[in-house]
A = this chain, B = another copy of it.
Amino acid sequence: MEAMRERVLVVDDEPDVRMLLRTNLRAAGFDVLEAANGAEGLAIAKHELPAVIILDLMMPEMSGVEVCRALRKHPPTSRIPILMLTAKAAEEEKVAGFEVGADDYVTKPFSPREVVLRVRAVARRKPDQGVSKPILARAGLITMDRAEMTATIGGKKLGLTSTEFRLLELLVRRVGSIQSRETLLSEVWGYQANLDTRTVDTHVRRLREKLGRAGRLVETVRGSGYRLNTTEG
């Protein structure tokens, strides 16, 4: 029968832009949701959990950056890929957008074909960090489930706090490679968290405690950072 179509949410205050995107995205096989302002977009995003969100940076009242930040803040919407539309290719805007977590950029005026291509590219990335379907990542005996925010080891639930969960999640997702304290700070705590790097140490310690014997899997790489190993020793 019919393949399930991926849903794309377009948030832009200009009807013309919405129409242009709507027709092109539909032609490309997407289901299109629309919102005319930031607040509405946010509400629909939370409610519908689209596969991709196209977000205009410049909107009255609630800017794209604000919407983006709000989306990134909480779980169900925090991993939805976001494509930003910017009026001008101002480098500042780009930076501002990336800082709050946009995944890609298109500057107005854009060619519809280009947008469709980028949406596809960004949507394809999804399997890595799926939203609707809970993702199970594994590192040795550790399993993570973002939807439930539970981590298990050997089938046993760990009572992690949200920070600990995000920390372990990042380490799991990048098993085997060293993560510097700076990287961990910016990825786990957020872009503008101005924290002491030693804070990471404390959380690693608490995490190790809760991991019990498996705490040894979190290896300290002197002078560089931390790394999660699959095998002990």
Q: Point out residues on A near B: beta carbons under 8 Å.
A: 36, 39-40, 43, 46-47, 74-76, 91, 95, 134, 147-149, 161-162, 176-178, 180, 182-183, 186-187, 191-192, 221-224, 227
Contacts and interface: CB of A to CB of B under 8 A. Distances in A.
A178 B40 contact: no
Contacts of A183: 46, 76
B161 A149 contact: no
Contact of A224 (B36, B149, B180, B187): B149
B180 A74 contact: yes
A187 B48 CA distance: 10
22 contacts: A36-B91, A40-B192, A43-B192, A46-B186, A47-B187, A74-B182, A74-B224, A75-B178, A75-B224, A76-B180, A76-B183, A147-B177, A147-B178, A148-B176, A148-B177, A148-B178, A148-B227, A149-B178, A149-B221, A161-B222, A162-B222, A162-B224
A91 to B, nearest CB: 6
Nearest to A147: B177
Nearest to A89: B15
